[in-house]
Amino acid sequence: MAELLKERSEIAEEFKWDLTKLYADDGAWEKELENFGQLVDRAASYQGKLKDAENIRKYLDAATELERMLSNLFAYASLRKSEDTREEAAQSLYARIYSRYVQAVQATAFADPEILLLDEETLKAVAEDPLLADYKYPMTKLIRQKAHTLTAPEEKLLAGFGEVFAAPREAASNLQNADMVFASCKDGEGRDTEVTGSNYILLQSSKDRVLRKNAFMSYYDGYRHHINTFAATYAGCVKKAAAEAAARHFASSRQMYTFYEGVPELVYDNLIASVRKFMPEMYRYVRLRKKLLGVDELHYYDLYAPLSDGVTKTYTYPEAKQMVLDAVRPLGEEYGKVVRKGFEERWIDVYPNKGKRGGAFSEGTYDSVPYILSNFVGTLDSVSTIAHEMGHSMHTWYSNHAQLPQNAEYTIFVAEVASTVNENLLIEQLLSDCTDPKERMALLNQYLEGFKGTVYRQTMFAEFEKEAHAMAERGEALSAGALNALYRRLIEEYFGPDLVVDDEVDMEWARIPHFYTPFYVYKYATSYSAAVAVSEAVLAQGEPAVKKYLEFLSLGGSQDPLEELKHAGVDLGTSAPIDAALEKFGRVLDEAEALADEISSQASDVDC
């Protein structure tokens, strides 16, 4: 029988993150919260005074101090809640700071409209005043938003609905992470195996096809019983986005979300067009997977199955740490020292436990270390996840140490570049040391899975979002049936005729939490493509490429994202990086197909 998840109290301290670097304990958090209202009042006191550079500078300083405290309080509560989503004390911290967050947004909602009420000549003079030199880029972004900023009372009213607008996301998260229970399933030998949100992908990676199928059926049976609820929560999220976009004079919710990140909608459309152009490469991969697994029909529960014996190899956490350190060696001594610091100073919450949030993420503040949540289970994918999240944390580290707080937070659009660079360097390092054909096939499969999951799959998600939001904007109902049908059509188009699309697959959209952050997922695909360009350059060029890349990491959020990427040598204003990444996918696939033939030939020789 599979090992049951431990309670958090049973996990050794060395494998838990050290949140004392943020607050000593919940009591210290409570004490800080007592001062929060004073900072809100201080920022709010500038209402009616934002008519000149001096007062605008004072307000911006007050707002930045408020945001730093809010960020610290919010991060601690969020991290505590993630440790065990069942814990009422942590839920209380999160609920209370979310309420205070809404209060702060309401109290400062006057500022942008008030500044933007200044006439064009005055506004330009204020923005160029030396007093606001430290806020040059935030002011540039603000002025850009003039046409989409409402009056002060309207902005305050909209801000007041913050908790209401977040309700669909919170309801879906609580249902998925805390309330849903899945029936245990049988493996190929008839043994019972626990199915949870945390171990589902691990079960789908098993060599035991009976276990994969039964876990798949159990998991989506759980979603089937709640699918109408998930449809309602997602519809609420989409309708909120559409309503806000209309109120802010955007043509669509997609236009609104891309505008605020300084990214043209053309980037989104170029991504979809490029990926669709390279669909035959994905169909080749599906056929290769079917061939290597030796199955008459390839089902969805076969998509994560290991393609060779090498993929069953497992790693201890100490081994994983060393693998990551070896992988990032091409990025220089300084980078490696900080990564080691992260491991030694317990930035990472390592293992799964009962109630722990599934998946993985990096989260930190300007004043804290960048923490990492993982659910490490010893697979190569788990090692890759550590490398991935450490990339996020290193991006945060470099940004926070190079930029003022108002310029440190990088946009989501560039966020996945650093994480994927680390993942790619890990795979390239492992491939460079690997001579065993079956192990090499496992590594090539890991590489191919990265492309499949991050470029093809996330682009498919992006199409799903684009069409779901368009449906809502046309007044069409986002019912479970409509969302299921849309998702199924895209699965069929993206994976091709060699994949049997089981009915359970229709409901997969309901388990994707990123859909509750509209138009987020396409950035995984664009970032992955940029990361391929960076990692290839680092390995081919060495120091010159490393210098450019570290410069990019240090920019934080001080420039528009497309301009920041140009510092790293990537121009996503064109489709060239997407095409180049997918051409790399084709080359890796070529090697995997050739290696598959070699392994097959060797097996035939042995049989003879």
Catalytic residues: 389
Block residue for tokens 């669709």: 276
Q: What burial class does residue 445 get, using C-beta atoms within 10 Å of its C-beta: 0-12 exposed, 13-18 middle, 19+ buried?
A: buried
For helices 543-554 and 412-433, what crossing angle results, to 10°?
150
CB-based contacts of 122: which residues, under 8 Å, 6+ apart? none
CB-based contacts of 440: which residues, under 8 Å, 6+ apart? 310, 431, 434, 595
Q: Which long-range contacts (CB under 8 A, 24 or more apart) does 586-594 make?
A: 586/278, 586/281, 588/444, 588/447, 588/448, 588/451, 589/281, 589/284, 589/285, 589/288, 589/448, 591/444, 592/288, 592/441, 592/444, 592/445, 592/448, 593/284, 593/288
By DSSP bridging, strand 371-373 and strand 348-349 are parallel
Distance CA(49)–CA(519), nearest Å, equals 36
572 in Cβ contact with 268 (< 8 Å): no
Q: How far, in Å, are 27, 67, 69, 108, 365 from residue 72 at the CA level?
A: 14, 9, 5, 18, 6
Phi, psi (deg, nearest 5) at residue 299? -105, 170
